[in-house]
Amino acid sequence: MSYTHDTIYYLKQSSPAQCEFYQAVEEVLESLEPLLEHDDQYRKHAIIERMVEPERQIMFRVPWVDDNGNVQVNKGYRIEFNSALGPYKGGLRFHPSVNASIMKFLGFEQIFKNALTGLPIGGGKGGANFDPKGRSDNEIMRFCQSYMTELYRHIGATTDVPAGDIGVGAREIGYMFGQYKRLTGRFEGVLTGKSTLWGGSLARKEATGYGVVYFAEHMMAYQNDSLKGKKCLVSGAGNVAIYAIEKLIELDAIPLTCSDSRGTIYHEQGIDLALLKEIKQVRGDSLETYLKTHKDAQYTPVNDYPENGHAVWHYEGDAAFPCATQNELTQKDAKALLKNNVKLVTEGANMPCDQAAIDTFIDAKVAFGPGKAANAGGVATSQLEMSQNASMQSWSFEQVDKRLKIIMENIFNSANGTAKEYGHEGNLILGANIAGFKRVAQAMIEQGVV
């Protein structure tokens, strides 16, 4: 039996009912086979067996009081997966879908993503099954304070440095940082994604979306092409999607779509970025309100999506940027994209394409940028925020953006060069996984059996 088969079998016994986690592990291990079959040092040191088990899994209840005086209880998590390269680093997600499988898949992906940046950070992830939507500021503050009352004892500026993710923005980071400071009496860089008033980094909000587009630029340049004039399909309407759209417009590409949990906007003239920011970042409205300003746009409610597919991927375009959530792009969507002549897919979210969709793209020789490489700009800039905090400095937007560009170029070159080295030129999934794995594995070997 193969290494992959044996490991997945073991995980299904030791960690039952964690499908997203199995999916993430299987995708990585399958691409590592060219490396593992020729180098037995990894088997000798049980690297895979150790790497798929988190160093620490923290689960706890989060009790809080709503505005009606009723006690609510949520479940909180922090998965400290691997610290071979540095302190655990990875976001906190507040969303009703959060469970142990989601947390472990995200934490496992974070190991390789962080390794690819070349920066001294390990991999972790956390969050809670709390839904901030529809909650008042006071309810969100009380939840964040309760969550941090447990989490604070497990994190620190050189131990574990969480950031934001879905449902966790500057407001939530602020409430959690305030509670951490209150409990410890320390003002330190224990969280990233902070307000620039008190230790946050300029360009952090934009970093993931910008980084995705920088990575796609390198993919296009490798094919002697560019994003200029390309019609782009983008999913999501959060920070990643908004700032990917912003950077695409700066590079003279034409983003045609965006989406939220209620539906999809398609605008043939190109997405109105200022209006999108107004709707999502100021008013917090549904994308359907986009039609009030642009009657020539099309809106497809989520209930009208094609079976086993999503409307955003069924329009004509040159490049696709899935920037919403995991497994949002199915095989049916992949086939629709191919039919509509899409030549490049770059993942802005974590594992947004399911395995069948990825296989479809690879078989069709579509240029495919995997999330662990393409969306690493966010965590890279989080580490730049850590650096600024440690040295008590504040860098300009241009300084941070310049470093981000260099990091994304290095990630592309590392993934692309590794793919070539192992005889799979153009397969950036294999290249990213092997490059990230080798860096972490070597550190684990050098640090002994821990």
Residue with tokens 């999501």: 236
Q: What is the pLDDT of residues 237-250, one digit of tens each?
A: 999 999 999 999 99
Q: Is 125 annotated as catalytic?
A: yes
> What pTM was estimated for this model as a whole?
0.92
Q: Which domains, ranges and CATH numbers included, belong to the chain?
A: 3-187 (3.40.50.10860), 205-369 (3.40.50.720)
Instruction: Mark out the alpha helices in 37-169 (DSSP H runs).
Output: 41-44, 47-51, 100-116, 137-151
3-state helix, strand, coil in the chain (%, to 5): 50, 15, 35
pLDDT given for residue 434 in this prediction = 96
Q: Angle formed by the axes of helices 204-222 and 397-421, to 10°?
A: 40
Q: What is the pLDDT of residues 183-231, one digit of tens each?
A: 999 999 999 999 999 999 999 999 999 999 999 999 999 999 999 999 9
CA atoms within 13 A on the CB side of 88: 24
pLDDT given for residue 1 in this prediction = 44
Does 178 score more than 50 pLDDT? Answer: yes
Beta strands in 380-426 (DSSP E): none
* 8 Å CB contact between 154 and 78: yes
- CA nearest 167: which of 139, 124, 128? 128
Q: What is the pLDDT of residues 89-129, one digit of tens each?
A: 999 999 999 999 999 999 999 999 999 999 999 999 999 99
Query: Please, what is the Cα angle at 440 between 439 and 444, to 5 degrees?
Result: 120
Q: What is the pLDDT of residues 287-337, one digit of tens each?
A: 999 999 999 999 999 888 777 678 999 999 999 999 999 899 999 999 999
DSSP per-residue codes, 19-61 = HHHHHHHHHHHHHHHHHHTT-THHHHTTHHHHHTS-SEEEEEE
Catalytic hit among 89, 104, 113, 125: 125
What residue type is assigned to position 193 of the chain? G
Query: Percentage of the chain with pLDDT > 90?
Result: 94
Query: Please, what is the Cα angle at 110 between 105 and 116, to 5 degrees?
Result: 140
Count of CB atoms situated within 10 Å of the CB of 446: 8
